[in-house]
Amino acid sequence: MARRFATVAFVASPSLEAEMAEAALKAQYPHVEPEHADVVVALGGDGLMLRTLHRFMGSGRPIYGMNKGTVGFLMNEFRTEGLIERLEAAQRSVAHPLLMTVIDTEGAEHTAYAINEVHMLRQSHQTAKLRVEVDGHVRLAELISDGILIATPAGSTAYNLSVDGPILPLNAPLLALTPISAFRPRRWRGALLPDRALISVTVIEAEHRPVSAVADHTEFRDVCRVSASMDHGIDLVMLHDPGHSLDERILREQFGY
């Protein structure tokens, strides 16, 4: 019977523990370079998983993570034995990234993809003043806050959750729009939006109240307008052991365990 994945590659975060794990697996299993593999095994934490998903974005190549980091929310348990059998039995979780477009105060345009979230954050002691539009309609004429965050379902348990945003099931066709330390409107706690929505945020008084924009780990400073929408044309495929799918992990987070 043909194997589900004929070729395997390994990547590791630059920590001694992860590199030692990579060496042990390479000594035990045949492997190829990541660009030629049917599946990539990532050894590290959630940061490495995000970097690996970015690296192979658009390729459709599945990523199977094993935890050699800290939290490891996106990762499977690390074991050297039975890797091929685990890969064959693994379940797919599919997510889509956000495409962020930024206009800075010099008029230059920049783009970047985010798997977890796009967020805007004040750069100085002054609060940010932001105008929020959804599909071309102004929904908040002025948000005074430390910033704002747009999270995918896959990223809803990350920074979004830490600023009291909602946890979204992985297959929910939604985006979470969450303020970061909102001052006015004081009672606004954010919104759930269709994942086909185009969200645009304009910085009011951008020269005097500078704001940065971040897509996962890509940052642009002194921005005046940021737009974000989900790119449904790109599939990000993660593999998880049965009973430990990303859907299951997100569900557990909703019940606090």
Catalytic site positions:
46
Q: Could you give the angle at the alpha carbon of 157 between the alpha carbons of 11 and 166, nearest 5°?
A: 160
Q: Are 154 and 246 in contact (CB under 8 A)?
A: yes
Q: Which residues contact 25 (CB under 8 A, 6 or more apart)?
A: 10, 31, 41, 43, 80, 83
* DSSP-assigned states of every residue in 139-192: EEEEEEESEEEEE-TTTTTTHHHHTTPPP--TT-SEEEEEEES--BSTT---EE
Which residue is it, tokens 């939290």?
71
**226 — alpha (psi -120 to 50), left (phi > 0) or beta?**
beta
Least Cα distance to 234 among 99, 41, 51, 109 occurs for 99
> Which sign, positive or negative, has the C-alpha torsion 37, 39, 40, 43?
negative
Phi and psi, residue 248, nearest 5°: -65, -40
The span from the CA of 22 to the CA of 20, in Å, is 5
SS3 at position 128: strand
Least Cα distance to 201 among 183, 217, 178 occurs for 178
